[in-house]
Amino acid sequence: MHRSPRDVLLDPEQHRRNALSFTGRAEATGSAEERDHFVRMARTSELLAKNADWLRSIDAFLADWRPKA
C-alpha cells in the first residue's frame, strides 16, 4: 500500500518507532559523533510524533466546524 507524504508525516506511531530505533543505534555505536547524530534524530522523531498528535487533535476539533456535505 502506498502512503502519501501527508500520511507518513502525520503518523505518530511511526515517528515513535523511529525514535526508539535511533535511540538504540545511539546506544550501540562507539563513535561520539554518530551517537550525537542518532540522539538528535531520536529527538527529532519524538517532536514529529508530538506534532502529529497535535495536528490530529486540531483536525478532530475543526471537523465540527467544517461544512457538512
- Rounded CA-CA distance 41/26 in Å is 9
**Model confidence pLDDT, tens digit, residues 32-43:** 999 999 999 999
Task: Report residue 46's pLDDT band, with 50, 70 and 90 as the boundaries.
Answer: very high
Do residues 19 and 51 lie in contact, with contact meaning Cβ atoms separated by under 8 Å?
A: no
Closest C-alpha to 51, from 4, 3, 20, 19: 19
pTM over 0.85: no
